[in-house]
Amino acid sequence: MRRSRGFTLIELVMVIVLLAIVATVSVQFVSLSTRGALDLSARQQRALQAVVIGEQLSRSLREAFPLSVRVNGQCIEWLPLLAATNYSRRTRGPGFDRVDVVPFSDPPPAGSRAVIFGYGTGVSALYGNNNPGPVSTSVDTVADTTLTLTAAHRFSQQSPERRLFAVGEPVSICQSGRYLYRHTGYGRSETQLAPPSAGRREVMSANLAGPVNFRVTPPSLLRAAVVEFTLTLQDYDTGSDETTTTIQEVQIRNVP
């Protein structure tokens, strides 16, 4: 009789075990490869977010009037610089509401304020309404060589280079938990509001981890102002506790 050929039970079990081992190794390899690709993608996404936030902060701060930058906790505030020129004569009687200037290349809008010098007065003076003081009342009109204010004002100091700057309403960047907000339209205050309770706010980031640190090196007559900020981002959507930290410095060159 011909003997029937086939697999024994032991051989079949051994094949099943070997296939299970190969399958397990393959699944683990695919899983680890996929996890690594997802982690790399998350790191690249956080790095891109850090670049975007850093660029937004840098561009905004480079347009700041350098003497006005101040920090309170996780808030940084400044007065945006709108225009600049030279003046030939500060306000004088009888009205003390006009400044003789060299024509602006880009005239400032009505409602902005004129600033002359400001060193030695303290940052809070730039946000106040002192008369005499470094910051004028609101600009009413700009016509050729004359800048007209809405009310009388005397500038307390003379600029060595006879420079005059026009600044807008204050802007703040503040952290609140995992969110980073940009605040505008809340008005001026000699005491820094951290954060402002009025005005408008826009979300700049929604995945902060830990505090945002702002540090300001004020300008002097020999060098520009420098702002350093540190922020850490975390991807909350994936549940990962991995973070990305960025540190950046911004030089504000437009020293009066």
Helix, strand, coil shares, percent, the chain, to 5: 25, 35, 40
Q: What is the pLDDT of residue 42?
A: 76
**What phi and psi, each to the nearest 5 degrees, are found at residue 102?**
-75, 140
Three-state DSSP class for residue 137? strand
> Hey, what amino acid is at 170?
P
Q: pLDDT band at residue 176, thresholds of 50, 70 and 90?
A: very high
For the cut 90, the answer to whether the pLDDT of residue 166 exceeds it is yes
Locate tokens 């996929």: which residue?
Answer: 34
Give the E-state strand segments of 90-209 in sequence order: 98-101, 113-115, 135-143, 146-149, 163-167, 171-176, 179-184, 200-205
Of the candidates 174, 183, 182, 250, the residue with the CA atom closest to the CA atom of residue 219? 250
Q: What is the pLDDT of residue 222?
A: 77
In the numeric block, the tokens 């956080």 are attached to 46
Residue 37 clears pLDDT 90, i.e. is over it: no
Q: What is the average per-residue pLDDT within 89-108?
A: 92
**Rounded CA gap, 85 and 106, in Å?**
9
Place of tokens 């009413």: 140
- Residue 184, pLDDT above cutoff 70: yes
C-alpha dihedral (166, 169, 170, 175), degrees to nearest 10: -140
Q: What does the domain layout of the chain look like in residue ranges?
A: 41-77+170-252, 81-167
